[in-house]
Every structure is written in C-alpha cells, then in structure tokens.
Amino acid sequence: MVGTKVLREFGLFRGLDDGDLAGIAELCQERPMKSGEVIFSEGTRAQYLHLCRSGKVEIVIRVREPWNKNVTVHTAGPGELFGWSAMVAPYTYTASAEGTDDGEEIRIMGADMLKLFDKNPRVGLVVWRNLSAEISARLTQTRQRLSTEWLTAGVPSTSGASTWGEPKRR
Amino acid sequence: MVQVDVLKQVPFFSGVDRSVLQQLIQVGSLRSYRANELCFIEGEDAENFYILLSGRVCLERRLPLHWVHEVVPIHIVSETEVFGWSALAGPGHFTASARCKTDCEVIALKGRALLRILDENTSAGHLVMKRLAAIVASRLSETSERLLREMADFECWRVM
C-alpha cells in the first residue's frame, strides 16, 4: 500500500494533512512501468489519474497532416502528475504517455477520487486548485515546446522561440 | 453595485449558496468596455476574474513573431461565461489577452478575495474549483489544437 509520506511528494496533494492523504492512499494502485511502454494513448477513454513515482514518462502529442510526427511536449519525473483526463470532461486522454525509463506509477480511478471529493469537499477544493495549477503549467510547456518544434523543423527565422507577437491595447 | 440575482444566472456559480454569493458581490465591480478594448493583456498580473454579462469577448494568444499570424483566437466568451482563470490558479499572470469583440459589460471579481471566500466555504469552493479545472483543461486543448493547425497551415503554405 502507498504511504502518506509518498503521496506528500506530489504537488497535486500539496496542502493536505496526513488524515486526508490516508484517505487518498486507500484508492492508490502501484504499477510498474517499462521503458517503451505506452501507458495511455491520445483519444482513448481516461479512467485513471496517473502519478509518476519513479522513472520517466514522455507526454506526446501527435501532429497530423502534413507533418505526421509525434512531439514530446513534456517529460514527467518522480513526484509529477502526468495524466488527469479521468478527472475532467470529456474524460478522454488529450495526449499519449510513454515510459522512457523503467519505473513505477501510482494510479487512482478518477470515479473513486470524485466520490472522495463529494464526501470531503475540503480535500476536493485543495486538489482541484492544485490540479488547475498543474494543467496551467502544462499549457505553458506545450506552447513553448510546439514553438521550439516549429523552429527545429527548419522554418527560416531570424528571431528566437522566445520572441512573441505583442497585442496592443487599443 | 453587482446584484446577487445576476450571479445566480452564471453557470460557473450554479449551486453556490446565496450567502456565499452575497460575499462574492462584495469583492466584485461592474466594468464597461468598448469594442476592441482589452479587459487584460497576456503577461500582465492576473488580479481579477471576470464574468461576461453582455457582449462578446475573444481570448487570444501571442505566437512567435515568425509564425504566419502574430496573434490567434483561442476561445470566444459568451454571455454569463467566465474568463481570466489565471487569477484563481496558475502562474500569476494572464496566459492570454481578452479582447472585446463588441461593447461589453463585465463583472471583475478580485482573485485573492474570491479565493479566500472559497477557502472559508469549502462546499462552494469544491464546486467552483472543479469547474475551474475543467476550464483550464479546455483552454489547454483549444490552445494545442490551434497551434497544431497554425503549424499545418504554414507547412501547406510553404510547400505551395
């Protein structure tokens, strides 16, 4: 069984006390991850929340026509949440996750987590807020990564990836 | 002065007790904008969370200068919809700009005060933050989709 000390390492649970974490620990399943294993695939139904306990996981978006290639938008390591789609509608993975090192994940059924929040709204409030912050960080990473991908694909440019257009207040 | 009955019409606050809504209106103010004015600019400190009462607002994101477009639309905000989630979660600055497509009337709620009220009222806080997470996830999907389309459009243009 996963201990509360382990759960404390995850940003998703920041702000929760030992009693709260003990309730979450009861819902956790530990599972080994192999290098090269596809843990979940973009577009499929999301049932679990995924947390990386050890090893590394690449989060990959498929860039369709005319590029037809996979872009890694983030590499998750220990202590990171890497799959949250089981918590928010439409409950479908928006990216794929592939193990790049052997390691271990902790997964929680999304439906179980939602039931726990309904019983204990304070825990729900804290976790939802942390989850929003995690998704927000992913948004920034995804935008930067796609921009870099664009540059390395050979698009002629004299400016760097950090040079952005500027909206003007009118 | 913002009225409680106005907040009751906002789906984001649906199911929140009237006593909590009473507290929320204390930290809100009505604002009017002309068409093409910006409620906030991408990158500036996210102090307020917004509710659109009338008009239409476009959320737009900057792109690197060498992309085909300097700015792309990510989402059109409709009446009674909320925007400016960065004031409640995230990096502390807005990750998009909010441009009024028409003359608009909005409620601006002070982000920190709103969070304090939600912390003190955990049932309402749980309900609201769950909806907020769904909005942030939706913006991530919309942004990814839009950027991938921009890349594809540019590639098509380049090989023509």
How high is the ipTM of this complex? 0.86
Whole-model pTM: value is: 0.86
A144 touches chain B (CB under 8 A): no
Nearest CA in chain B to A146: B147
Q: Is residue A133 part of a domain?
A: yes
Q: What is the pLDDT of residues B85-135, one digit of tens each?
A: 999 987 789 989 999 999 999 999 999 999 999 999 999 999 999 999 999
Measure CA B25 to chain center. 18
Residue among B40, B41, B140 with most chain A CBs within 10 A, to mutate: B140
Q: What is the pLDDT of residues A51-93, one digit of tens each?
A: 999 999 999 988 776 677 788 888 999 999 999 999 998 999 9
A22 touches chain B (CB under 8 A): no
Measure CA A5 to chain center. 21
Element (H, E) at A83: strand A80-83
Q: How far apart are CA A25 and CA A103, in angstroms?
A: 19
Structural domain including A118 reads: 4-152
Polymer length in residues for chain B:
160
Q: Is residue A167 part of a domain?
A: no
Question: Which of A89, A136, A137 is nearest residue B134 as measured by Cβ atoms?
Answer: A89
pLDDT computed for residue B155 by the predictor: 67
pLDDT computed for residue A152 by the predictor: 66
- The SS3 assignment for A131 reads helix
Q: Do residue A121 and residue B118 have CB atoms under 8 angstroms apart? A: no
Residue A31 has a CB neighbour count (10 Å cut-off) of 14
pLDDT computed for residue A156 by the predictor: 42
Q: How confident is the model at residue B157 (pLDDT cuts 50, 70, 90)?
A: low
A119 touches chain B (CB under 8 A): no
Domain residues of chain B, as ranges?
A: 4-159
pLDDT computed for residue A159 by the predictor: 39
Of the candidates B51, B49, B74, which has an alpha carbon nearest to the alpha carbon of residue B61? B74
Q: Do residue B148 and residue A61 have CB atoms under 8 angstroms apart? A: yes
Burial code (b: 16+ CB inside 10 Å, e: under 16) for B122-131 equals: bbbbbbbbbb
DSSP state letter for A45: B
Q: What is the pLDDT of residues A19-51, one digit of tens each?
A: 999 999 999 999 999 999 999 999 999 999 999
User: The CATH number of the domain where A51 resides is what?
Assistant: 2.60.120.10
Q: How confident is the model at residue A132 (pLDDT cuts 50, 70, 90)?
A: very high
3-state secondary structure A133-155: HHHHHHHHHHHHHHHHHHHHCCC
> A131 to each of A41, A85, B134, how far by Cα in Å?
21, 11, 10
A92 touches chain B (CB under 8 A): no
pLDDT computed for residue A29 by the predictor: 97
Nearest CA in chain B to A139: B140
Q: Do residue B137 and residue A88 have CB atoms under 8 angstroms apart? A: yes
Structural domain tally of chain A? Answer: 1
Measure CA A118 to chain center. 23
What is the average pLDDT across A9-14? 96
Residue linked to tokens 């890497």: A82
Average pLDDT of every residue of chain A: 87
> A165 to each of A108, B37, B42, B68, B155, how far by Cα in Å?
41, 18, 11, 11, 20
Question: Which of B41, B118, B140 is nearest residue A125 as measured by Cβ atoms?
Answer: B118
Q: What is the pLDDT of residues A97-106, one digit of tens each?
A: 999 999 999 9
Q: What is the pLDDT of residues B43-62, one digit of tens each?
A: 999 999 999 999 999 999 88
Q: Which residues of B touch A147 (CB under 8 A)?
A: 63-64, 147
Superfamily (CATH) of domain B4-159: Jelly Rolls (2.60.120.10)
Q: Is residue A119 part of a domain?
A: yes
- Which class for B153: exposed (0-12), middle (13-18), buried (19 or more C-beta within 10 A)? middle
Average pLDDT of every residue of chain B: 91
What is the average pLDDT across A103-131? 96
Q: Is residue A159 part of a domain?
A: no
Q: How far apart are CA A168 and CA A90, in angstroms?
A: 35
Question: Is beta strand B28-33 parallel, antiparallel or unpaired with respect to B104-110?
Answer: antiparallel
pLDDT computed for residue B35 by the predictor: 97
Give percent above pLDDT 90 in chain A: 68
Of the candidates A118, A142, A97, A99, which has an alpha carbon nearest to the alpha carbon of residue B141? A142
Q: Do residue A135 and residue B137 have CB atoms under 8 angstroms apart? A: yes
Q: Is residue A70 part of a domain?
A: yes
8 Å CB contact between A143 and A88: no
* Residue A168 predicted with pLDDT over 60: no
Residue linked to tokens 């060498």: B66
Q: Do residue A143 and residue B126 have CB atoms under 8 angstroms apart? A: no
pLDDT computed for residue A160 by the predictor: 38
Of the candidates A103, A124, A94, A136, which has an alpha carbon nearest to the alpha carbon of residue A36? A103
